[in-house]
Every structure is written in C-alpha cells, then in structure tokens.
Structure 1
C-alpha cells in the first residue's frame, strides 16, 4: 500500500495549546503554593516545544488561539464542564482553522487530550466510515458531564463518538462510530468513564510488550474495513522510564519501542491521515521560569 502520512500532500500541522480541559488548579500539585494554575498552564507550553523539536514541515501550520485567563469567571464549571465557555469556543475556533485549511491529513501538537476532537471530527467528515481511530491513552476519556471529574479531556473520546454535551456535539462536523474506535494501552479501569465505554462497545487492547498486541490491533482494523487511520497519543501512556514530562504515568506504561512498532504496523495496513500528541506538561521548565523570576536577570 502506498500509505498516506500526515506530513504528505494536503497536510496541516495544527498547534493547539489548550489547557482548560485538564480541570482544576490542583491537577498535578507539583509546583510551589501560590501558583494554583501554573501546572495547568504547562500544557500551554508543551505544543510549541513539540513543534520546535519536530522535523521540518513544508506544509501549512496553523495555530488555534487559546486563552490564558485563569480568573474565576474564565474557568467556571458550567453543566459539569470546567471552563466550559472557553473550551467550547476554542473547539469552534479549531474547527474553523481546520476547515479554512481544508487538509487531507492533520498532525496536532496539543495541550490536554481534548485537542484531538476537532481534527478527528474533520477527518471523520472527510473520510466517513473509512476512518478508524486508535486512541493510545492510559485513561478511557469516555466520561460524560456529571460523572465527577469536570475536565473535558476526560470526555473527549466520548464526544468524538457522539456522546456528551449537546452543544459540543452540535459543533462537530461528524462523529466516529464506536465500532471504529480502538483504545490502546488503557490502564485506568476505575475511571467513571468505563461505564460509557462499555455501553458504547468501544474495544481496547492492552500492551504486553509482545507481537500479540500488534496482531490483535491489525485484526481489529481488518474487521472495521477502514483504510484511513487517526492516531491519538496521550504521552501519559508512556512508561516513565522512557518519558516523564507529563502527568500521570508510571512504570507500567507503554515502552517507546512498542509504541513505534504498533505505529509502523498500522501504517502498513492503512493510511495514517491524522496523528495527535497530547499531555506534554514541561513542569521542569515552569520551575525554571519561577527561578528566573526570582533572580536578578
């Protein structure tokens, strides 16, 4: 197969530093007191760093404007969603940016996980039932408003599958059938969203560091009949021995060689038309910034 990749013709590189979907000032709690929102704002720093470190891109690059307003009004929880107004507005803006570019493929460097909703919805509208989504994440992201956790990142995959807040769903050009979604590397089986995942029938494959994982993924892909793939990678799925600059994670995560093996295998079986990297939280840089503010520099 002559695979289409996100850096090929018609590609768009989307920089979407959304942080509000992470919900709440104490999400990580690893910064000094007096900086209640700085941990969340680390998600705002991550996407430009991913862009800086990535290979040169000769296609279009677009930036989604993201507010850094952390006032009580700006982050108010409404209808079970933290900073609902900002997240909804930024979802609409992301869709406008993408639709203006009309790309065939999209690479997204994002903040928290909900940044995949807009580009994957665009791809679903473009490719219809020929699109399958691989959601590589330690968490299910299939929560709904009222589940308990108010961050929209925990609702991102459910929204993409057509489940959740009606106003968010109305903004999407298309959703992805749950039968065309596969979760990879899921570890948090206590998440409230597991109930929605099971009700929707979204399947999952754990990672056991063996070729058996790849075989099961390829068998699932063959059953869908899809030839176009959108791959979401939440960096907290990775084992901390390989990557630690994110939230969550642990020593039971997916090893980088295994992730690359899976991506290579599915790229031989279909065209990768979308890939997202999310949850890069460069907390050490924030700590360094705090030091610089205190030094006479």
Structure 2
C-alpha cells in the first residue's frame, strides 16, 4: 500500500504512552467514577492497545519509559508548560532510544500528540530538507508557552518547527522548516495556536473528502521537493461514525476511507519514513476496568 512497510526490518516501532502533554485532570473526557487524572492516563493505555491490534512487527521495538506519577509536584506547570520537567525528560529519553536504534523509518504508537516530536526530529536529522511532515489533526498544535492552554501537546508542532521553549528545542537534533509542514483536516480555527501557525506560514488543506483535496496534498508535496514523508495522525481528526476512541468532534471529521486514500496516494508520491498514531483515549475500557475493580471477580 505504501513504500514503507511497518513490519520491515529497517523500521523502528516506538511505543510512547505519554499522557502528561494533556493538561488537567479532565483533559480527555468524562470519567466521573475515576480518580483524578484517570482520564489523562487513558492515553497511557491507548498505545499498548494499538500495538496489540497491529500486524506482527519483524523489526526492532522500543518502549519509552513514561511516569504515571500524578502528584502535584510531578505535574506542576513551569514556564507555561504543564508537567514541564517530566515531559522534557521523556522527550530526551525517546530521542536517545531512537538514536541508539538508528532506524530508516519510525512507526510510533503514542499517547497524546507530542509523541511525534522526538521521532520526527530524528528523521529530520537524517533526511534534512528532503523530509516533509503531514500533520493530520483537528487542532493546530502550534501554541506557545504562555497561551491559556498549558499542555505540551498543543505546542508540539510549533516545537518541531523550531518555536517555543528554548530548552525543548535545544534538545532536538533537528527541526522541520514550516514550509515543509502541511496541516490536513484542521477543524479548530478558534485555537490560540492558529495565529502562530499563520505567522509561521504553515499551509493547510481541509477535511479531505474529495479527489481535489487529495491532489492539493500531492501538489504541495511536489512543491517542497521532499522525497521522504512523516505522517502524524491524531485520531481525534476522524469522524466518530468511524472511530469513537478519541476526543473527536462528532460527525464532521475525516472519514477513515479518506485517510487511507491519502496515505495510499502519498506512498506512491514519496517514501513514508514516519507514521504516528496518537490520541487513542479508550475511556470505555477504563470505565470497564473501574467496574471490574468493584465486582467480586
């Protein structure tokens, strides 16, 4: 289907269940019977389920150690970033794991959106301006420290493009020029990060349910001159008729067949060397877990 096969020996499968980028105990959704931060921790469970459901992988796998400490100290907002110390530490851990493996390509099963920063930065260090990034997401993720929302997931794409907290950017082996980044499926045009996205010059294509929109994506890729592509898929971009295990916005999202068509066409137009699935929030399974804890099983 694409020129990168996720089970190939040159591909690293990175499991990165980071949840701290989603600020606030109620950041994911409603889980009234759960303890504080339980909804955020659903992002910690999601990547394991993605790995379990995926085809067998013949290449290396790496698991980023992610803290589940929800104490006030561990999730303290510092310099405008929620759980800043933990998130920065885990970013460095992920970069070290990917660099040690030195793969040709990386498939990431992640928690919240910021899990793409480490593998995509690594790929940018390997391929330079020959790498383009397709950010398939309902939200811009181009916020900055000091915005009203302090979760690092909202700053992940800006950081990858070289804007934001200096210590985070200094930790990256490379950044991606904004001209080599395309948003697809952006829905939240009221997000504070929109102004920054527009100032940076990051282009957008709407919810792609027509061949014309797909052609615009391929034309954009050709204009970049890049032969390699990293694709970030935030599952909240999907229409809830196709997938409800995230925090999507009802029946106005991208349909799953359209997403698959885009990936297929891009695999023909270039080499997909990075793919991330993020924001899997299996709240129903957490509710079921709570029920099981209260039953005499």
- Work out the CA distance in 1 between the residues paired with 2:29 and 2:137: 21
> Alignment RMSD, CA only?
1.1
The answer as to whether partners of 1:7 and 1:105 remain within 8 angstroms in 2 is: no
Asked if the contact 2:117–2:159 (Cα under 8 Å) also holds between the matched residues in 1, the reply is yes
Q: CA deviation at 1:36?
A: 1.6
Partner SS for 2:219: helix
Residue in 1 aligned with 2:92?
92
Q: Is the contact between residue 134 and residue 183 of structure 1 (CA under 8 Å) also seen in structure 2?
A: yes
Partner in structure 1 of residue 125 of structure 2: 125
Q: What is the match of residue 73 of structure 2?
A: 73
- Normalised by the length of structure 1, the TM-score is 0.98
Q: How does 1:106-255 map to 2 (within 5 A)?
A: 106-255=106-255
Cα shift at 1:75: 0.3
Helix, strand or coil at the partner of 2:188: coil
Work out the CA distance in 1 between the residues paired with 2:220 and 2:282: 35
Structure 1 residue 191: Cα displacement = 0.2
The 2-side partners of 1:165 and 1:88 are apart by 10
The 8 Å contact of residues 183 and 203 in structure 1, kept in 2 or not, is answered as yes
Q: Deviations over 1:222-274 (max 9, x none)?
A: 00000000000000000000000111332110000000000000000000000
Q: How far apart, in 2, do the equivalents of 1:4 and 1:66 lie?
A: 28
CA drift of 1:3 comes to 2.9
Post-superposition CA distance 1:9-46 (Å, at most 9, x none): 41100000000001101113411155120000000000
For 1:7 and 1:158, how far apart are their aligned partners in 2?
A: 30
Contact 1:6 1:272 in 2 (8 A): no
Cα distance change of structure 1 residues 282 and 57 upon mapping to structure 2, 3 Å threshold: same
Q: What is residue 60 of structure 1 aligned with on the other side?
A: 60
**DSSP-derived class of the 2:21 partner:** helix
1:208: Cα distance to partner? 4.4
- Match in the other structure for 2:51: 51
CA distance in 2, matches of 1:158, 1:140: 9
How high is the TM-score relative to the length of structure 2?
0.98
1:104 partnered with 2:104: yes
> For residues 218 and 208 of structure 1, what CA distance do their matches in structure 2 show?
12
Corresponding pairs, count: 296
SS at match of 2:275: strand
After superposition, give the CA deviation of every residue in 1:193-240 in whole Å (9 maximum; x if it has no partner): 001100100000002411011100000000000000000000000000
Change (3 A) 1:106 1:208: closer
Secondary structure at the residue paired with 1:91? helix
Paired with 1:77 and 1:33, the residues of 2 have a C-alpha distance of 26
- 1:4 Cα deviation after fit: 3.8
* Equivalent pair of 1:19/1:44 in contact (CA under 8 Å): yes
- The CA distance in 2 between the partners of 1:22 and 1:59, in whole Å, is 30
Q: Which residue of 2 aligns with 1:262?
A: 262
Give the deviation of 1:117 after TM superposition: 0.1
Distance 2:208 2:87 in 1: 35
Question: Post-superposition, which runs of at least 4 consecutive aligned residues in structure 1 deviate over 2 A?
Answer: 2-9
Measured after TM superposition, the shift of residue 5 of structure 1 is 4.0
Distance 1:17 1:41 in 2: 9
Q: 1:208 to 1:4 in 2, by over 3 A?
A: closer
